[in-house]
Amino acid sequence: MGVGGAYIGFAEGIEGVAVNPASSAVRDAFSVEHVDLDGTVSVVLPGFFAGTDFENRGASASSHGSVYDSFLSTELGGVLQLGDWGVAALTRAQSFRVSASSGAQLSMQIARADVTVARSFFRKQLCIGIGVRAASMLLSGSGGTVGSLLAMGGVGLQAGVLVRPEQQRFRFGAAVRGPVFGSGEISSRAAFDAGGVRAADGFVLPREVALPAEVEAGVAVELGPRPLNPIWREPGEEEAPVRARVESRRRARQAALGRTLAAASAADRPALRAEFSAAEAAIRAVDEAHLDASARSLLAARKARAENAPRARVLVVASVTAAAPVTDGIAISSFLAQRYEPYGQQWTLTPRFGIESEPVTNRLVVRVGGYVEPARFSDATPRQHLTFGGDVKLLPFDLFGLLPDTVWKLALGVDVAPRYTNWALDFGVWH
């Protein structure tokens, strides 16, 4: 939110899953082990959107009379990285109530989910991901039960790419998201009138719910001493030379045993083998201890490099999203008012821009950005949003030993525009 949503060209961590399917293969600078995990659990309390022009109706918002309130948003997701591979799942659910001036009300539950698989190539310089995205909607009338009017859902395909040349100060990301058209269960009270229109409880019911197809592309450019694309090597590659030397010595010992056995008599060979086995077991125990110590030393070195990397930076991100039209689409408020008001029936562009910096080294991160929300109603105009936020470093807390060496942060994001305000607080891990 702080950088206006212009995240597709950066695409790190769990935050990237929603915008770029390639993000689960992108390694953060602080990711220093073969296996890594990232996750998120969040709850946004209701009421932040109350009384706002949620759908950017523009001048007609006040006359339309629809009010959105009782918002509750939740998010749950995780990323598992294994070397060059990454898998991720992220779900976002939102419930709210829409009230019309006529007194009619609808309770809405909307959920979206992304499941992706990604792989990196050329030492993480190219990341490619594919996956699915799903959407569902549950509607109930005033005083009804969840799903009493309809329950619809569908699935679409998506793919993404991120290019991050080693030691360079720029990245490029892009994604293609296929359309999602969802059908499902309609209220048992629904009936067709003489004109073939299906309705229930006074509502003409939709044929389907839809998410339009989208194409998004963006860049990230970093100024300052902090490296944007540090070299990332598989930990096994760093440990390989030590293991190769140990294996070479083992093969040499086996070869020496073979020569000794060849020169010995048949009667002496069992004793020689037993003696070698005992000695080899002792040597291998020392070797394994040496390998473990070497692995710990290399891990400590990787952590030290990440922790001691320069932090001063100015990160600039920008992106643009093109959304395809949806034939015969209407907005949620139009459905509530039972008006046919064309919505999202033409291509729209959403440019985004953001800047991030760390003015107080290892203590404070600040962000500012913005985006232009397109006009999806035929009589509305695009709306400019201003976003800002940041992170404040808190005290370390290992969660009773479950998360050693963990330092926490408090983050803020704010999004303001004419007739619209949104904000969120986040409690997460400081890196």
Confidence of residue 103 (pLDDT cuts 50, 70, 90): low
Provide φ and ψ at 387, rounded to 5°. Answer: -125, 150
pLDDT at 48 over 70: no
- Per-residue model confidence as pLDDT tens digits over 246-269: 999 999 999 998 989 888 888 888
- For residue 201, give the DSSP letter: T
158, two tokens: 């998506």
Angstrom distance (rounded) from CA 356 to CA 361: 13
Confidence of residue 145 (pLDDT cuts 50, 70, 90): very low
DSSP code string of 311-371:
---EEEEEEEEEE---TT-B-HHHHHHT---BBS-S-EEEEEEEEEEEEETTTEEEEEEEE
Contact call for residues 129 and 22 (beta carbons, < 8 A): yes
Q: CB under 8 Å to 404, separation ≥6 — which residues?
A: 398
Angstrom distance (rounded) from CA 76 to CA 182: 22
- Per-residue model confidence as pLDDT tens digits over 373-424: 999 998 889 999 999 999 999 988 877 777 777 899 999 999 999 888 888 8
Cα 43 to Cα 94, 112, 159, 194, 395: the distances in Å are 10, 15, 28, 46, 22
Dihedral sign, Cα of residue 117, residue 123, residue 124, residue 128: negative
Question: What global pTM score does this model have?
Answer: 0.84
- What average pLDDT score do residues 221-242 get? 87
Q: What is the CATH number of domain 14-230+309-429?
A: 2.40.160
- What local confidence, expressed as pLDDT, does residue 59 receive? 63
Mark out the alpha helices in 109-268 (DSSP H runs): 235-263
Q: What mean pLDDT value characterizes the chain? A: 87
Angstrom distance (rounded) from CA 387 to CA 183: 35
Q: What separation, in Å, do the N-terminal and C-terminal C-alpha atoms of the chain show?
A: 19
Angstrom distance (rounded) from CA 248 to CA 124: 30
